[in-house]
Amino acid sequence: MCGQPLPKYMKDGASASPLSNKTSTSPAPHATRPLTHREPSNSYMARYWRGEIPLAHSFWITNVAVDLGIWLLENALESRLATTKSPLLLHQLSLALSLFTVFLLGVWQVVGLWRSARQYIASTQCLFWGRCAQGAVVLWAMLMVGTYPVWLPAYIADIQIAFGDKDFQYRLTVSDDGDTLELDGGIGLGLTKAVTEQLNRHPQIELVSLNSHGGLLQEARDLSALIEQRGLSTYSGGECLSACTSLFLAGTRRILHADAKLGFHKSSILGMPESVNDLRNAPDKEYMRKRGINNEFIEKAFSAPTDDLWVPTVQELVDATVVTHVFDGSRTVAYSK
């Protein structure tokens, strides 16, 4: 596995070259370079950075095991977003951990692993495992560089969410008569939990009024499930765009003001292949079918690019059964499915 050992004249640098009868006192040109002497350190971080930790330990413990532990921790934090009292704080902690792992810990890990592999090769003359470890470092670097159009926008979006970007801020208001919950703004982190609390506090709520430009896709899916589960009706008197349309479709009765508009488009992640984005949209297409929307309308709704919107006419919405009732300002007209 390790290959042939180095010839003796390459090891000690004092033996005669097989091509000459003369004795050389200088090292052979291809001799392994002696490791630089450093003062010993009691710090594990310093020793690892220098490559002084054994290769197997560096790879399996400091890289594989540590990364697995951090991945499990991040997933544990994110899984509590729907139940915690402070989802934004929890998301900030999860994001900080992720950024630390990639940009600080990750650099320390790969540099130390590379140096440990170099030390391993120099001390054992065994190339196989050392080159495997260095290959893993090269692969990691290539993946980071090659996929940055995917992960960089995702990190930027997460930072916007974590620091309360206005696109993800929302306001919930209960009407004076107590039967309507009004949502204004973005579909941000923790919205489903906030709506749940309002519904529990005001069990007489029957209608959710929507005025939103959209927001987080998964949060919209969770809130849609809640609206459907509670048997609530939905109404929009202004704009209900992007992910907000999922909330509108969840209503038992779906009421639209004659001057309001619903805006549809497909969701996508910048840099992702179209096939991956299609998979991302598949649950939302299926949800529309479940709510009784015909396939022709669904395909048209998801043909609009992410940076654009398709705004159907009221008649198109009624014909596709997206809207069940139309309010003209004075009366509400019901349309049978």
The CATH number linked to 301 is 3.90.226.10
Strands 332-334 and 325-327: antiparallel
**CA quadruple 327, 328, 332, 336: dihedral sign:** negative
Report if residue 299 sits inside a domain. Answer: yes
Question: Are 220 and 322 part of one and the same domain?
Answer: yes
Do residues 261 and 191 both lie within one domain?
yes
Same domain, 233 and 302: yes
Kindly state whether residues 170 and 140 are assigned to the same domain.
Answer: no
pTM for the model: 0.70
The residue out of 80, 115, 146 marking a domain boundary is: 146
How far apart (Å, rounded) are the C-alpha atoms in residues 324 and 261? 14
In a 10 Å sphere around its CB, with 0-12 CB exposed, 13-18 middle and 19+ buried, how is residue 251 labelled? buried
Residue 90 forms part of a structural domain: yes
Instruction: Provide the token pair at 281.
Output: 């949209």
The reply to whether 68 falls in a domain is yes
* CA distance between the termini of the chain: 71
Q: Parallel, antiparallel, or unpaired: how do β-strands 261-263 and 325-327 relate?
A: unpaired
- Residue 87 domain-assigned? yes
* Lowest mean pLDDT across 42-56, 191-205, 242-256, 321-335: 321-335
For 82-131, write each residue's pLDDT tens digit: 678 777 788 788 889 999 999 999 999 999 999 999 999 999 989 999 99
Report the relative pairing of strands 180-187 and 325-327 from DSSP bridges. unpaired
Place of tokens 């927001």: 215
The verdict on 222 and 103 lying in the same domain is no
Q: What is the DSSP letter of 264?
A: B
Residue 248 and residue 182 in one domain: yes
Range in 29-38, 121-130, 253-262, 313-322 the model is least confident about: 29-38
Same domain, 278 and 129: no
Is the same domain home to 74 and 220? Answer: no
pLDDT of residue 132: 96
pLDDT (tens digit per residue) in 148-186:
877 888 788 788 777 766 678 899 999 999 999 999 999
In a domain, 270, yes or no: yes
- pLDDT tens for 14-70 read 444 433 444 444 444 444 454 555 677 789 999 999 999 999 999 999 999 999 999
| Structural domain contains residue 74 | yes
| pLDDT at residue 56, rounded to an integer | 96
Residues 176 and 321 in one domain: yes
Domain boundary (93, 112, 146) is at: 146
Examine residue 33 and state whether it is found in any structural domain, yes or no.
no
Residue 318 buriedness (CB in 10 A; 0-12 / 13-18 / 19+): middle
DSSP designation for 289: H
**226: pLDDT strictly greater than 60:** yes
Residues 195, 279 within the same domain: yes
Instruction: Give the domain-ending residue among 112, 146, 180.
Output: 146
**For the ranges 36-45, 170-179, 194-203, 251-260, which has the lowest average pLDDT?**
36-45
Residue 251 maps to a domain:
yes
Q: How many domains does the chain have?
A: 2
Residues 91 and 185 in one domain: no
Type of residue at 240:
C
Domain range for 113: 51-146
For the chain, the C-alpha Rg in angstroms (whole number) is 30
Same domain as 274, residue 129: no
